[in-house]
Amino acid sequence: MASDYNDVLQKLCHHLKQFTGPDAEITPETDLINQLAIDSVKLLNLIMEIEDEFDISVPINALADVQTVHELATLIHQIRTANK
Q: Tell me the pLDDT of the chain (84 aa) as tens digits.
A: 567 999 999 999 999 999 887 788 999 999 999 999 999 899 999 999 999 999 999 998 999 999 999 999 999 999 999 987
Task: For CA atoms 28, 34, 38, 44, give the dihedral sign.
Answer: positive
- Classify 31 as helix, strand or coil: strand
Q: Which domains does the chain have, with CATH numbers?
A: 2-83 (1.10.1200.10)
56 CB-near residues (< 8 Å, 6+ apart): 50, 76, 79, 80, 83
Cα separation, 15 vs 61, in Å, equals 21
Nearest one of 37, 31, 33 to 68, comparing CA atoms: 31
44 CB-near residues (< 8 Å, 6+ apart): none
